[in-house]
């Protein structure tokens, strides 16, 4: 989707440096699998639909079984903190992954 948008903007004379981002690469790291590609495309399509509709100040979320627009204020209202003794944190540390602290 982003490649199409970049081409359209270039055709309209928009000359800023624009690059597409593959969400699957950012989300999981490594080589994306088919699931990553489909999921990122679905998030991207919903985001574009929101932008075209002028539905700003929101993020895309997946609430089974659909993608929905969630106000940013609601998304950050209650922090979902991860404790340092969380199983995933322990696993990351055990693998030598730097978590920035």
In the chain, domain spans: 2-72
For the four alpha carbons of 30, 31, 35 and 40, in that order, the dihedral sign comes to positive
pLDDT value at residue 11: 92
Burial class (CB in 10 A: 0-12, 13-18, 19+), 24: buried
For the chain, percent helix, then strand, then coil, each to nearest 5?
50, 10, 40
Across 42-52, average pLDDT:
95
Q: What percent of the chain has pLDDT over 90?
A: 45
Burial class (CB in 10 A: 0-12, 13-18, 19+), 40: buried
Residue in the block written with tokens 């079984």: 65
C-alpha dist (Å) from residue 47 to 1, 10, 54, 83, 89:
10, 20, 11, 31, 30
* Residue 1 or residue 47, greater confidence: 47
pLDDT value at residue 18: 80
Is residue 28 within a helix (H) or strand (E), and if so which, with residue range?
helix 23-28
Best mean pLDDT range from 1-5, 13-17, 26-30, 87-91: 87-91
CA distance 39 to 36: 5
Write down the pTM of the prediction. 0.57
């Amino acid at each position: 989707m982003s490649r199409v948008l970049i081409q359209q903007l270039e055709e309209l004379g928009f000359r800023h440096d624009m690059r597409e981002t593959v969400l699957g690469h950012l989300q999981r790291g490594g080589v994306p699998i088919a699931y990553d590609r489909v999921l990122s495309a679905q998030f991207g399509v919903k985001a574009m639909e929101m932008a075209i509709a002028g539905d700003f100040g929101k993020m895309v979320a997946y609430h089974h079984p659909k993608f929905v627009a969630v106000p940013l204020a609601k998304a950050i209202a209650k922090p979902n903190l991860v404790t340092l003794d969380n199983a995933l944190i322990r696993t990351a540390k055990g693998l030598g992954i730097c978590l920035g602290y």
